[in-house]
Copies of this chain bind each other. A is one copy, B any other.
Amino acid sequence: METPEREEVLAAVEASVRAGEAPEAWAGRLRALQPFDVAELLSRLPEDGRLAVLAALPPDVAAESLEHLTPEVQYRILDRLGPDGSLTLLLHMSSDAVADLLLSLHPNQAARLREALPLGYREELERLMTFPEHTAGSLASVDYVAAREHWTVDEALAHVRKVAREAETLNYVYVLDARGRLVGVVSLRELLLASGGDRLGAIARRDVISVRATTDQEEAARILARYDFVALPVVGDDGRMVGIVTVDDLVDVIHEEAMEDIQRLGGSLPLRESYFRTPVLGLFRRRVGWLLVLFVAESYTSAVLAHFQTTLAQVVALSFFIPLLTGTGGNIGSQTVATLVRSLAVGEVGFRDILRVAAKEALTGVLLGAAMAVAAYVRAAMMGVGFPVGSVVATGALFIGLWASIVAAVLPIALHRLRVDPAVVSGPLITTLVDGTGLFIYFSLARLMLGV
């Protein structure tokens, strides 16, 4: 089913539900939709329509659809469903989604939902809820398939069938010891290939790749991507299994981290929520800090210009090219930083490479500076400022290009070494650092070459 078709089905079901048609009239088309699409439908419908749609779906599909909605909408629906209806859905939702929901509700609302849950499950959830945001533990789900070493392959397969409906992934069966510690893993593939009488203890892989619950989610995403796994087990400090993080959660993490890197590179703290959910004051607060830091750093430029004010007063034409030269230096620095920051983040470039990178960027900077020198000379000639000023501008462009490249190559690598997130080195920061020093180069050249 491709996108236009999907939109048609959505619109048709929406119209039928809004018209109050009996479920038999639209339930067939509804079942053709994936949970993500059902969620889209639910978000378009008034509350009564939502309840009608959920009632017409098998509980596992209804629960998965609910997971795609915001916590407020989830709560409003669960509240309307009453204790029994909401319990059924909560038990069919994946445990990481339930934990997220409980964490984002008002404590009173959360308590009301929590009370309905069976005690054992509630305890598992409460454990998941203790892990801070951005850790692997905070993404973990307890809906995994666990088995014991002495089980046979046939017993394990029978168990897989039994829990198939609840489990988030069937790809791996995790072997736990009597104390709940993770001691091995068998993939479903291996299970299907093994003979039915084999013991899991004999076929399980012992060196299980796992992460700690306190591991950063970005690190977990990196490990999962590296090994091409579909899920990664998460263990506590005591070695006991906490749950699994699945690839779909980590795809969201990768998207989120890229978004954060981009915002930091743009010179802003990353937003905590989506753009439209962040109020104006929130945008202001995420941006004003860096702006003030950059402003103070940039203030240096006014000191440089004041220092050279006699030169400036004598040759006013020099000032015409200030934004052109600082702008070009900033652009070259920004290009270099954008290229390096991501290579640093994925580990392709490290501190050991600092000289190699600096040399490479210096060479590129000379070439770019030379190209900009030609452009600057042409522009100066067009402005009719004469050969001497034109030469100063062109030479300035060359040296600023070289300088900007070196600063933008060395700074992120050095800060990365100091464990500062390299994305803190934003384009604006490099631009600011290069502005003042670039002007110093420019006016020093002017004094030297023009003798003013």
Partner of A435, one of B161, B292, B327, B349: B327
Residues of the B chain whose Cβ atoms lie less than 8 Å from the Cβ of A334? 266-267, 426-428
| Nearest-CB residue, chain B, relative to A321 | B302
Q: Once the chains bind, are A266 and B210 in contact (CB under 8 Å)?
A: no
Partner of A298, one of B228, B324, B343: B324
Partner of A339, one of B33, B271, B363: B271
Residues of the B chain whose Cβ atoms lie less than 8 Å from the Cβ of A341? 262
Asked if A295 is an interface residue, CB under 8 A from chain B, the answer is yes
Asked if A265 is an interface residue, CB under 8 A from chain B, the answer is yes
Kindly identify, within residues 218 to 263 of chain A, every residue whose CB is under 8 Å from any CB belonging to chain B: 224-228, 230, 247-248, 250-252, 254-255, 258-259, 261-263
Residues of the B chain whose Cβ atoms lie less than 8 Å from the Cβ of A288? 367-368, 371
Residues of the B chain whose Cβ atoms lie less than 8 Å from the Cβ of A306? 320, 383
Q: How far is the CB of A207 from chain B (nearest CB, A)?
A: 4
Q: Is the interface of A mostly helix, strand, loop or mixed?
A: helix
- Expressed in whole angstroms, the Cα–Cα distance for A379 and B300 within the complex equals 10
Q: How far is the CB of A302 from chain B (nearest CB, A)?
A: 4
Asked if A208 is an interface residue, CB under 8 A from chain B, the answer is yes
Asked if A287 is an interface residue, CB under 8 A from chain B, the answer is yes
Q: Once the chains bind, are B209 and A193 in contact (CB under 8 Å)?
A: no
| Nearest-CB residue, chain B, relative to A191 | B164
Residues of the B chain whose Cβ atoms lie less than 8 Å from the Cβ of A259? 342
| 10 A-B pairs with least C-beta separation | A266-B338, A258-B258, A228-B248, A301-B323, A268-B335, A302-B320, A32-B207, A331-B428, A1-B207, A305-B320
Q: Once the chains bind, are A324 and B309 in contact (CB under 8 Å)?
A: no
| Nearest-CB residue, chain B, relative to A337 | B266
Interface string of A324-353 (1 = CB under 8 A from B): 101110111011111111110010110001
Asked if A189 is an interface residue, CB under 8 A from chain B, the answer is yes
Q: How far is the CB of A229 from chain B (nearest CB, A)?
A: 8
Q: Once the chains bind, are B275 and A331 in contact (CB under 8 Å)?
A: no
Kindly identify, within residues 44 to 92 of chain A, every residue whose CB is under 8 Å from any CB belonging to chain B: none
Asked if A313 is an interface residue, CB under 8 A from chain B, the answer is yes
Q: Can you list 17 A-B contacts with CB-CB less than 8 angstroms, sorted by A residue number?
A: A36-B227, A165-B189, A225-B255, A262-B262, A263-B339, A266-B339, A275-B343, A280-B363, A283-B339, A287-B335, A287-B368, A290-B335, A295-B324, A295-B327, A303-B383, A313-B316, A323-B435
Residues of the B chain whose Cβ atoms lie less than 8 Å from the Cβ of A161? 192-193
Residues of the B chain whose Cβ atoms lie less than 8 Å from the Cβ of A357? 275
Q: How far is the CB of A282 from chain B (nearest CB, A)?
A: 9
- Expressed in whole angstroms, the Cα–Cα distance for A312 and B2 within the complex equals 62
Residues of the B chain whose Cβ atoms lie less than 8 Å from the Cβ of A210? 1-2
Asked if A170 is an interface residue, CB under 8 A from chain B, the answer is yes
